[in-house]
Amino acid sequence: MSDQPTDQPSELLAARRAKLERIRAQGVEPFPHAFPGVTPIAEAQAPWQELEAGEERDDAYRIAGRLAARRGQGKMAFLDIVDRSGRMQVQARADVLGEEAMAQLIEFDLGDLVGIDGTIFSSRSGELTLRVTGFTLLAKSLRPPPDKHHGLQDVETRYRRRELDLIANEEARELFVTRAKIVSELRRSLDDDGFIEVETPVLQPLYGGALARPFITHHNTLDRDLYLRIATELYLKRCIVGGLERVYELGKDFRNEGLSTKHNPEFTMVEWYEAYADYGDAMDRVEQLVIGIAAVINYDGPVDFSAPWPRIPMAQAIKDATGIDISEATDRDTLVAAIAASDKVKLDVEDRAWPTLVDDLLSKYVEPAITNPVFITDYPTALSPFAKGHRSQPGLVERFEAFCSGMEFANAFSELNDPDEQRRRFEDQVRLAESGDEESQPYDEVFVQALEQGMPPTAGVGLGIDRLVMLMTGRDSIREVVLFPAMRD
RNA sequence: GCCGCCGUAGCUCAGUCCGGUAGAGCAGCGGGCUUUUAACCCGAAGCGCGCAGGUUCGAAUCCUGCCGGCGGCACCA
């Protein structure tokens, strides 16, 4: 896999370079500065859907895009032009353009960016077509495009050279347009409900807000290491302490973990925090938000997003799936015994603490079986250092995760706002770190002091945008929904 | 990190099991064609098979290692 210019077959490149020189010799600028007055193809086509085969009109349009196909016919040719909105056939005729201009147009290569002026008509076979009255080379393409019919299939090239994927595969273009719509709708919905979008540091002196290993970088002038954020949680809660009441941040988090179909080392997350609300309110909002997004993109897939989504306590979900009752097996030895006694569950229990085993049960036996959206609620305290204790269930916190299609896509809690309790949770995390857990939380005294200032009762949610896009577009790999996924060099 | 599968012209693929010296379509090149739409027809050309070794008279085909990709596990939300 290499993409040095010299790796291209010299004849293919040379032919395009030769055309470039010929074009220049004719006094034509192959890379002009602008092309004003372009109508998107879909817009040019929209009024003429009823045009009868063979009908012609005087209405003129200017379109621009990439030359995607050519069906030559000597004195007449059909060309396909593709832009972001669609594809349109244009017809070039020697008797309209003159021999010389016809020859110039015919010499354009597949992949060239061209501007076309023409009048609308419907071909004999009924295809809406633009009869070319004028054309402009907008940028010469010096490399061959992917196959015009099969598109670009090679997965590796599709990820490494996403521009080729976008050129060749309409589904790829559509997917990233859909992704943008999802993000817009998310922002619109939160904005309309009085949330304000904020920006907090990506480079952090101390990382926190999630259980993950960070990337470390270095600031030269300060001569100190900084972490790329693994979450925005702690800063956003400081905004709540400050009285901003409803805030959200949508941006990249970075986690130094393995890659998989569900994990990219940098990924997009939205977190929002709402004062005076609890995790039940947060569930309502997640539900409403996702349903709204599905509607906006005209979701048409196997998932039934309609409300209400089941809200199942974690212990119940695990009991239903495995028969093991973690509310009975509340210490490691009892739980290990229950796992050993179970014929449904096969788990490696060695070196694994009680909370980890519970998490394993959830992720191996509950999560994969979920298809339609479900909230799993009320997690053990040990797994959730920033969540508030459950109002009626000792040992648990008011936390939920939203699952769909076998995948977690949101995580939320009634936020812990008791500073002394938070301090104790940090101390627990420090003890975990000392016993070798690389994903524990570092102690963040500044954050605890912020809580001491007084934080209102607050609900906080983190929702993975990439995963949400996967759900909405039916993709099973995060690389399909990230424009430029992480790849080895 | 481990296991499995994969890597052949610019692109999409066949050929690998059962070694015999690489092929098709598209694109490109030359020519023909005023309603095609995977346009079509004729002609000439293009890859030595991810990389490096090995076995063999002979390797794209078998073996080893490495690189890259995909999937799974581990790890992890």
Q: Where are the alpha helices (DSSP H) in A46-169?
A: 94-97, 99-106, 155-160, 162-168
Counting the structural domains of chain A, the total is 2
State the pairing for strand pair A407-414/A396-404: antiparallel
φ, ψ dihedrals at A21, nearest 5°? -65, -40
Distance A151 CA to B19 C1' (A): 35
In a domain, A316, yes or no: no
| Domain around A203 | 171-309+372-481
Distance A404 CA to B50 C1' (A): 39
Chain A window 462-481, residues with Cβ within 7 A of nucleic strand B: 464, 476-477, 479
Tell me what ipTM this predicted complex has: 0.91
Helix (H) or strand (E) holding A431: helix A419-434
In a domain, A155, yes or no: no
Q: Residue A90: which CATH number?
A: 2.40.50.140
Residues A106 and A214 in one domain: no
Residues A86 and A135 in one domain: yes
In a domain, A53, yes or no: yes
Q: Residue A191: which CATH number?
A: 3.30.930.10
Distance A175 CA to B71 C1' (A): 23
Q: Which nucleotide's C1' is closest to A368 (Cα)?
A: B77
State yes or no: pLDDT of A320 exceeds 90. Answer: yes
> Residue A133: which of A93, A99, A86 has the closest Cα?
A93
Strands annotated E in A23-97: 56-72, 76-83, 86-93
Helix (H) or strand (E) holding A335: helix A332-341
What are the pLDDT digits (tens) for A432-483?
888 777 778 889 999 999 999 999 999 999 999 999 999 999 999 999 999 9
Distance A155 CA to B5 C1' (A): 15
Secondary structure letter of residue A478 according to DSSP: G
First CA to last CA across chain A, in angstroms?
Answer: 10
Closest residue (CA) to C1' of nucleotide B38 is A149
Residues A104 and A214 in one domain: no
In a domain, A57, yes or no: yes
Q: Which nucleotide's C1' is closest to A80 (Cα)?
A: B37
Strand B closer than 7 Å to the CB of A368? no
Rounded to 10 deg, the angle between the A170-192 and A279-296 helix axes is 140
What are the pLDDT digits (tens) for A96-120?
999 999 999 999 999 999 999 999 9
Residues A204 and A55 in one domain: no
pLDDT band at A8 (very low <50, low <70, confident <90, very high): low
In a domain, A2, yes or no: no
Strand B closer than 7 Å to the CB of A486? no
In a domain, A119, yes or no: yes
Secondary structure letter of residue A43 according to DSSP: H
> Residue A202: which of A220, A185, A217, A186 has the closest Cα?
A217
Whether the full predicted model's pTM is greater than 0.80, yes or no, is: yes
What are the pLDDT digits (tens) for A49-99?
999 999 999 999 999 999 999 998 889 999 999 999 999 999 999 999 999
Chain A window 137-176, residues with Cβ within 7 A of nucleic strand B: 144-157, 159
Residues A207 and A95 in one domain: no
Provide the pLDDT for residue A445.
Answer: 93
Are A176 and A166 in contact by the 8 Å Cβ rule? The answer is: yes
